[in-house]
Amino acid sequence: MKPYVIGIAGGSGSGKSTFASRLKEAFPTQVSLVSCDNYYIPHDDLSLEERAKLNYDAPEALEFDLMVQHLEQLKNGQAALCPVYDFTLHTRSQSVTKIEPRPIILIDGILIFHDEALRECMDLKIYVETDADERILRRAKRDMQERGRDLDGVIDQYLSTVKPMHNTYVEPTKVFADIILNGGKNEQAFALVKTQIEQLLKDL
């Protein structure tokens, strides 16, 4: 049987990536994880300052066709060479990550339900809904600790693009979800999805 693909979407800082990573850790040899964050379109023709000003929260910022291609490869039993995005430079790095085909494929990202072809690759769609105040605090902590941003830059980006794009493009896609979770650290929800994966692995 072909791999079972689970999409996990939600706003920036919602906890979707944490939720996906926990599932990956629970089934390390049977789950592969594809992060939408690595599929931002590179703009190496622009300067670092120009790249920093781009809108990374709109659908146009992502290479959906490549995501679909890689998911199809994984579903057909072929490994995929996924790009690696460097958030400190606002472009893709020179390295790639080899994703192996496994019984369960997880894909997470803020806009993965926006693209119809990508949605059609998924067997189960989960949307993680988290309060906006909690999302911005998580995003600020992550961007400052992991991506070399300062607080003023985080706030400016949130108000100029993250918040309006969330309202315009991200939150409306929850209508496509099969399951809507209240927060990425919802232990009961995690246990239920984990149990479902265990059952799927028995049936595959």
Q: How confident is the model at residue 203 (pLDDT cuts 50, 70, 90)?
A: confident
Residue 19 CB neighbours (<10 A): 24
Is residue 33 within 8 A of residue 108, CB to CB? The reply is yes
Radius of gyration of the chain (CA): 17
Region of residue 109 (left: phi > 0; alpha: psi -120 to 50; beta: else): left
What's the pLDDT at 172?
Answer: 95
Cα–Cα nearest to 75, from 101, 113, 38: 101
Reading the block at residue 76, the tokens are: 């057909």
Q: What is the pLDDT of residues 96-149, one digit of tens each?
A: 999 999 999 999 999 999 999 999 999 999 999 987 767 777 777 777 777 777
Reading the block at residue 19, the tokens are: 């939720």
pTM: 0.88
Of the candidate ranges 62-66, 176-180, 199-203, the one whose mean pLDDT is the lowest: 199-203
What's the pLDDT at 140?
Answer: 72
Reading the block at residue 109, the tokens are: 């990202």
What's the pLDDT at 96?
Answer: 95
* Measured CA distances, 28 to 23, 24, 120, 127, 140 (Å): 8, 6, 25, 22, 29
Q: How confident is the model at residue 88 (pLDDT cuts 50, 70, 90)?
A: confident
User: Beta strand 91-99 with 179-182: parallel, antiparallel or unpaired?
Assistant: unpaired
Domains of the chain as residue ranges with CATH = 4-203 (3.40.50.300)
Q: What is the pLDDT of residues 32-87, one digit of tens each?
A: 999 999 999 999 999 999 998 889 989 999 999 999 999 999 999 999 999 999 98
Three-state SS string over the chain comes to CCCEEEEEEECCCCCHHHHHHHHHHHCCCCEEEEEHHHHECCCCCCCHHHHHCCCCCCHHHECHHHHHHHHHHHHCCCCEEEEEEECCCCEEEEEEEEECCCCEEEEECCCCCCCHHHHCCCCEEEEEECCHHHHHHHHHHHHHHHCCCCHHHHHHHHHHHHHHHHHHHHHHHHHHCCEEEECCCCHHHHHHHHHHHHHHHHHC
| Average pLDDT of the chain to the nearest whole number | 90
